[in-house]
Amino acid sequence: MDYVLHILVMVCLYSILATSFNLLIGFAGLFALSQAAFYAFGAYATAILSVKLGLAFPLPLTAAILFTAAVGILVALPAIRISGDYLVIVTLALQVIALAVIVNWHGLTGGPDGIRGVAPLHFLGLPLDTPRRFLPVAALAAAAGFLIAWRLAHSPFGRALRAMRENEAGAEAVGKNLLYMKVVVFAFSAGLAAVAGSLYAHYFTYVGADGFTIEQTIYILAMVILGGTGNLWGSVAGAAILVVLPDALQFIHLPVEIADKSRLVIYGVLLMAVLRFRPQGLLAAAAAGGTRGALTPLAVTQGGAGLLDPIAPGEATLSGAKLARAFGGIRAVADLSIALTSGRITGLIGPNGAGKTTAFNLLTGFLAPDEGEVTLRGRPINGLKAHRIVGAGVARSFQDLRLFARMSVLENVLVALPRQSGDRIGQVFFRPFRVAREERANIARAMSVLAFVHLDGKAGETADSLSYAEEKLLSIARLLATGAEVLLFDEPLSGLDPTTLTEILPILRELARSGRTVCIIEHNLDVIKELCDEVCFLDEGRILAIGTPERLMTDPELATRYFK
**DSSP of 22-63, one letter per residue?**
HIIIIIS------HHHHHHHHHHHHHIIIIIS-PPTTHHHHH
Residues 316 and 189 in one domain: no
Residues 157 and 27 in one domain: yes
Residues 203 and 315 in one domain: no
Domain boundary among 212, 247, 280: 212
Residue 262 lies in a domain: no
Residues 134 and 12 in one domain: yes
Residues 202 and 339 in one domain: no
Residues 337 and 473 in one domain: yes
> 336 - beta bridge partners?
323
Residue 116 lies in a domain: yes
Three-state DSSP class for residue 260: helix
- Torsion sign across C-alpha atoms 163, 295, 311, 476: positive
Q: Using CA atoms, how far apart are residues 148 and 395, in angstroms rounded to an integer?
A: 33
> 488 - beta bridge partners?
396, 519
Residues 388 and 509 in one domain: yes
∠ CA 293-23-466, rounded to 5°:
45
pLDDT at 299 over 90: no
Residues 392 and 498 in one domain: yes
Domain that holds residue 555: 309-406+467-562
How confident is residue 298, by pLDDT bands cut at 50, 70 and 90?
very low
Average pLDDT for residues 56-82, to the nearest whole number? 90
What strands lie across the sheet with 379-380, from one edge to the other?
330-341, 316-327, 371-376, 379-380
Q: What is the CA radius of gyration of the chain?
A: 28
Residues 206 and 313 in one domain: no
CB of 373 closer than 8 Å to CB of 321: yes
**451 Cβ contact list (under 8 Å, min separation 6):** 297, 300, 304
Q: Residue 289: what pLDDT?
A: 44
Element (H, E) at 265: helix 259-277
DSSP 298: -
Residue 491 lies in a domain: yes
Residues 89 and 203 in one domain: yes
Residues 82 and 190 in one domain: yes
Q: What is the pLDDT of residues 231-290, one digit of tens each?
A: 999 999 999 999 988 877 777 776 766 666 776 777 778 777 876 777 778 887 765 444
Query: How many domains, the chain?
Result: 2
- Omega of the bond leading into 556 within 30 degrees of 0 (cis): no
**What are the start-end ranges of the E strands in 106-189?**
115-116, 122-123, 126-127
Domain boundary among 212, 227, 246: 212
Residue 341 lies in a domain: yes
Q: Using CA atoms, how far apart are residues 230 and 240, in angstroms rounded to an integer?
A: 17
Residue 458 lies in a domain: no
Q: What is the pLDDT of residues 470-512, one digit of tens each?
A: 999 999 999 999 999 999 999 998 888 888 888 889 989 998 9
Residue 47 lies in a domain: yes
Phi, psi of 81 (to 5 degrees): -105, -15
Residues 202 and 350 in one domain: no
Average pLDDT for residues 336-344, to the nearest whole number? 92
Residue 438 lies in a domain: no
- The enclosing domain of 387 has a CATH number of 3.40.50.300
Q: What is the pLDDT of residues 132-171, one digit of tens each?
A: 999 999 999 999 999 999 999 999 999 999 999 999 999 9
pLDDT at 301 over 60: no
Domain boundary among 212, 235, 265: 212
**529 Cβ contact list (under 8 Å, min separation 6):** 549, 550, 553
Q: Residue 461: what pLDDT?
A: 94
Q: What is the pLDDT of residues 188-236, one digit of tens each?
A: 999 999 999 999 999 999 999 998 999 899 999 999 998 999 999 999 9
Residue 414 lies in a domain: no
pLDDT at 305 over 80: no
How confident is residue 309, by pLDDT bands cut at 50, 70 and 90?
low
Percent of the chain scored above 90 by pLDDT? Answer: 65
Specify the pTM: 0.88
